[in-house]
């Protein structure tokens, strides 16, 4: 027997070589919950699985294996993740479906490990972040009937040096930080916007937040890796890059340059094919004037400020182990609007934090009125396992927390509707994201993906525009926080 390779003479095959047996091409579906950072992690896992011989399918009902990328942030998100795992388990062969295994990954799996595995036997395995680099082999083993021992949860901050500049030497697994995006990331969505991870983890010690304990300390991606992935995404048809992390204002501090984001943003905006760059999750106390100016005035970078205020009362913020007060926050917004009067501004606030008085609540409400933000997410406080605030004594009754959250939510709905109405007459550039049933819907520069409302382009249809087009238009009406705009001729 002989073999032949193009461009060479036939050679005799070694008699000792065993015949190569191809492994079966198993199908896998990714189900993703939670934030945009999880979206990036899912696409990295999908790329690793595809490179490892799995065939990606969109519908979980068509998959041999269903991988559920869970969220472990707050109680409602945890419940959604468990519900998704149970729904995937209903697709298994013993229930008449095709799936042979259901696997939990993501923040809930990392945060609770073996405890989640014991409480949720419907999942065939619970994999932590350290399993991600070998995800394909892990899944093959699970499908072959091998048992997987879920990890015992630990504080991932302890895996990295305390000094930020020493963290680049660590070999700890950091989801979404692999280099070479063409080989380790596979897009699961085809829209014109894609999340791009700047960093992972957080060095802040907010008393209400457990994220650093299971996501680890703050680690920046190197600018070369971020730019390489941006070029790859642009080659996939992406028009808007949505930069995500737990704290974008800290980018570069572990690389020796706290102002690295100011340098990186113009380079990202200059990537061929990229029309818009958007930064998410800015810590107000770390938002320096140079960064405000770069975001507000760099061509191709949208003037959009996702500022994590969390509250406005200085007393409550100190108990949260955060910094600020109404005067400093309003001063920051004044800086933003002096440079970019039409900038989009969003934030989140926590209501009913332990020790919050009626006076503190009024300070928050007064601040929200003065701030004139486009979108504000309102969350009622609840204890999170392992956080400092969970041990506080002066907690409010659950009914009182709920009542306060409803009050602030009602106020926010009124304020954001009024803010949208203030934008009537403004000229906006809308990135078209869907064209269905003669309705063309997209987002203006002031609107972030998923949670900031949309813009309906009046008078257009699929004969005049396509998904991914940028359309100049004038805002002519509103519907809550959503805008209605008429394209310019």
Q: Where are the domains of the chain?
A: 27-153, 158-422, 426-487
**Class of 426-487 per CATH?**
mainly beta
pLDDT digits (tens, 9 = 90+) for 310-319: 999 999 999 9
Share of residues in the chain with pLDDT > 70 (%): 93
**Residue at token pair 């020493």:** 166
pLDDT at 173: 75
Judged against a pLDDT cut of 70, whether residue 19 lies above it is answered with no
Confidence of residue 182 (pLDDT cuts 50, 70, 90): very low
**Class of 158-422 per CATH?**
alpha beta
**What are the φ and ψ backbone dihedral angles of 72, each rounded to 5 degrees?**
-125, 30
Judged against a pLDDT cut of 80, whether residue 180 lies above it is answered with no
Q: Which of 306, 379, 377 is nearest to 346 (CA)?
A: 306
Q: Which CATH architecture has domain 27-153?
A: 3-Layer(aba) Sandwich (3.40)
Binding site annotation covers 365? no
Contact assessment for residue 178 and residue 226, using Cβ atoms and an 8 Å cutoff:
no
The b/e string for 29-51 (b: 16+ C-beta within 10 A; e otherwise) is bbbbbbbbbbbbbbbbbbbbbbe
Confidence of residue 21 (pLDDT cuts 50, 70, 90): very low
pLDDT at 489: 75
Confidence of residue 76 (pLDDT cuts 50, 70, 90): confident
Q: CA 238, CA 302: separation in Å to the nearest integer? A: 15
Binding site annotation covers 209? yes
């Amino acid at each position: 027997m002989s073999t032949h390779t193009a461009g060479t003479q036939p050679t005799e095959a070694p008699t000792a070589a065993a015949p190569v047996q191809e492994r079966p091409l198993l199908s896998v579906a990714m189900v993703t919950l939670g934030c945009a950072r999880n979206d990036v992690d899912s696409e990295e896992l999908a790329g690793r699985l595809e490179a490892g011989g799995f065939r990606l399918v969109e519908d979980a009902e068509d998959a041999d294996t269903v991988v559920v990328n869970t969220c472990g942030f707050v109680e409602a998100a945890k419940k959604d993740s468990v519900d998704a795992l149970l729904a995937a388990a209903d697709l298994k062969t013993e229930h008449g479906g095709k799936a042979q295994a259901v696997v939990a990954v993501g923040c809930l799996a990392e945060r609770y490990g073996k405890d989640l595995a014991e409480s949720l036997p419907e999942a065939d395995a619970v994999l932590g972040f350290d399993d991600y680099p070998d995800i394909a082999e892990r899944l093959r083993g699970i499908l072959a009937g091998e048992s997987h021992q879920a990890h015992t949860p630990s504080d991932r901050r302890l895996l990295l040096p305390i000094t930020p500049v020493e963290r680049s030497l660590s070999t700890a697994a950091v989801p979404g930080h692999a280099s070479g995006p063409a080989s380790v990331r596979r897009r699961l969505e085809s829209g014109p916007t894609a999340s791009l991870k700047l960093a992972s983890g957080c060095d802040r010690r907010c008393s209400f937040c457990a994220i650093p304990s299971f996501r680890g300390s703050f680690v920046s991606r190197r600018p070369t890796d971020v730019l390489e992935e941006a070029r790859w995404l642009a080659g996939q048809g992406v028009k808007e890059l949505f930069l995500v992390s737990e704290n974008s204002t800290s980018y570069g501090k572990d690389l020796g340059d706290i102002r690295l984001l100011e340098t990186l943003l113009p380079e990202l905006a200059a990537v061929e094919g990229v029309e818009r760059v958007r930064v998410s999750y800015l810590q107000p106390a770390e938002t320096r004037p140079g960064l405000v100016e770069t975001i507000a005035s760099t061509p191709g970078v949208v003037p959009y400020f996702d500022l994590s205020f969390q509250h406005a009362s200085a007393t409550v913020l100190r108990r949260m182990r955060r910094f600020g007060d109404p005067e400093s926050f309003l001063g920051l917004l004044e800086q933003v609007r002096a440079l970019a009067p039409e900038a989009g501004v969003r934030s989140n606030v926590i209501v009913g934090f332990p020790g919050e008085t009626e006076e503190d609540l009024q300070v928050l409400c007064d601040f929200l009125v003065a701030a004139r933000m486009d979108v504000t997410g309102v969350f009622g406080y609840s204890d999170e396992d392992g956080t400092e605030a969970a041990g506080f004594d002066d907690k409010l009754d659950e009914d009182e927390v709920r009542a306060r959250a409803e009050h602030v939510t009602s106020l926010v709905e009124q304020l954001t509707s009024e803010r949208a109405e203030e934008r009537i007459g403004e000229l906006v550039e809308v990135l078209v994201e869907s064209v269905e049933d003669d309705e063309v819907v997209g987002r203006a520069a002031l609107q972030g993906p998923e949670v900031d409302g949309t813009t309906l382009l009046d008078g257009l249809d699929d004969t005049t525009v396509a998904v991914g087009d940028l359309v100049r238009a004038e805002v002519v009406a509103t519907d809550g926080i959503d805008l209605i705009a008429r394209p310019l001729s």
